[in-house]
């Protein structure tokens, strides 16, 4: 499989502080990877290493076969980068700022800039310093996407965007992925990436905790089922089913917490006169927080 990003023992220390500790991560082409972790986990450090802005203390980050820290020129046009703290030159208008970058990229399709600015309802005639935070962020988004790069590296991209614009942005990410591009997207909130990401990588205290498809995370998540029986619920039988974590009885209703598939439970109880089944959404957030807390 083609890997757009491949890091090996990628490590970054700032003085005595280890911001990133031996990261081994492969990202294949054509996916949206959600890079998740609490504050200070090392997400921005990883992103800056991938974008070639800082050098690793040890280990390597290879992007499209090029070393990210040494072969920046070969990568510049193929990467769209949006920093977490996007600050542009305040005295330039959006148009001036973007044309400066378009020049650096060696030319950009003007129509694509127009399309993006229209889509995000952005006025490029205004001085960047006079724009609201969300509108400034939009300038950063246009800058990252305008040269149609093969890889987008986005650090908390929806910061400051209102819900409508967040939705528009997610749509843009999906289209980008569907066009075969790769997206590396950092966030500290699962719900933000869950809707778009194919895979999530979870980082904690500089270390990679897990890489999983969103589907696998969902499959492993806890689910609550309320089973109504025609007579007294067969508690021992329910308890014995694989994946059943909790059981409480309320008259003829059994409240069950299951991890993974609920198929076996349903099959088991079907023969015992179940009259109603209510399934609650998988608690993805809880599964995710387990990884955050170090219990996953």
Ligand X SMILES: Nc1ncnc2c1ncn2[C@@H]1O[C@H](COP(=O)(O)OP(=O)(O)OP(=O)(O)O)[C@@H](O)[C@H]1O
CB 5, min distance to ligand X, A: 17
Write down the H helix ranges in the chain: 43-50, 72-75, 94-104, 110-119, 133-145, 163-178, 190-194, 214-220, 235-239, 263-270, 284-293
CB 10, min distance to ligand X, A: 12
What is the widest separation between alpha-carbon atoms in the chain?
75
- Answer yes or no: are the C-beta atoms of 89 and 128 closer than 8 Å: yes
Binding site for ligand X (CB under 6 A): 14, 17, 19, 37, 39-45, 84, 188
Output DSSP code: residue 130. G
CB 200, min distance to ligand X, A: 14
Q: Which is nearer to ligand X, 19 or 221 (CB)?
A: 19
CA 212 to chain CA centroid, Å, is 11
CB 47, min distance to ligand X, A: 8
Among 148, 2, 174, 156, residue whose Cα is nearest residue 79: 148
Q: Which is nearer to ligand X, 168 or 285 (CB)?
A: 285
CB 216, min distance to ligand X, A: 23
CA distance 286 to 170: 23
- Answer yes or no: are the C-beta atoms of 57 and 13 closer than 8 Å: yes
CB 19, min distance to ligand X, A: 3
Q: Which is nearer to ligand X, 37 or 157 (CB)?
A: 37
Q: Which is nearer to ligand X, 197 or 254 (CB)?
A: 197
Q: Which is nearer to ligand X, 120 or 292 (CB)?
A: 292
Query: Which neighbouring-strand residues pair with 67?
Result: 62
- Answer yes or no: are the C-beta atoms of 20 and 11 closer than 8 Å: yes
Q: Which is nearer to ligand X, 60 or 96 (CB)?
A: 60
């Amino acid at each position: 499989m083609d890997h757009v990003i491949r890091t090996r023992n990628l490590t970054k220390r700032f003085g005595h502080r280890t911001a990133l500790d031996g990261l081994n991560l492969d990202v294949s082409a054509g996916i949206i990877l959600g890079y998740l972790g609490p504050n200070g986990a090392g997400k921005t450090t990883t992103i800056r290493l991938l974008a070639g802005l800082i050098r690793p203390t040890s280990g390597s980050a290879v992007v499209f076969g090029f070393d990210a820290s040494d072969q920046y020129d070969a990568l510049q046009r193929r990467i769209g980068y949006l920093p977490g703290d996007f600050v542009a030159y305040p005295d330039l208008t959006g148009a001036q700022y973007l044309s400066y970058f378009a020049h650096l990229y060696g030319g950009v399709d003007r129509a694509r800039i127009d399309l993006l600015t229209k889509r995000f309802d952005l006025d490029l005639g205004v001085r960047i310093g006079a724009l609201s935070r969300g509108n400034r962020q939009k300038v950063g988004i246009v800058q990252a996407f305008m040269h149609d790069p093969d890889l987008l590296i986005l650090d908390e991209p929806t910061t400051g965007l209102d819900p409508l614009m967040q939705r528009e942005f997610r749509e843009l990410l999906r289209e980008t992925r569907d066009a075969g591009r790769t997206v590396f997207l950092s966030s500290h909130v699962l719900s933000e990436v869950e809707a778009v990401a194919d895979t999530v990588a979870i980082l904690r205290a500089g270390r990679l905790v897990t890489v999983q498809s969103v589907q696998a995370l969902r499959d492993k998540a806890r689910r609550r089922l309320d089973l109504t029986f025609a007579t007294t619920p067969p508690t021992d039988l329910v308890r014995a089913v694989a994946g059943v974590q909790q059981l409480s009885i309320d008259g003829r209703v059994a409240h069950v917490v299951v991890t993974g598939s609920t198929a076996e439970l349903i099959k088991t109880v079907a023969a015992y006169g179940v009259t109603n089944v209510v399934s609650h959404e998988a608690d993805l957030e809880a599964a995710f927080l387990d990884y955050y807390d170090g219990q996953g």
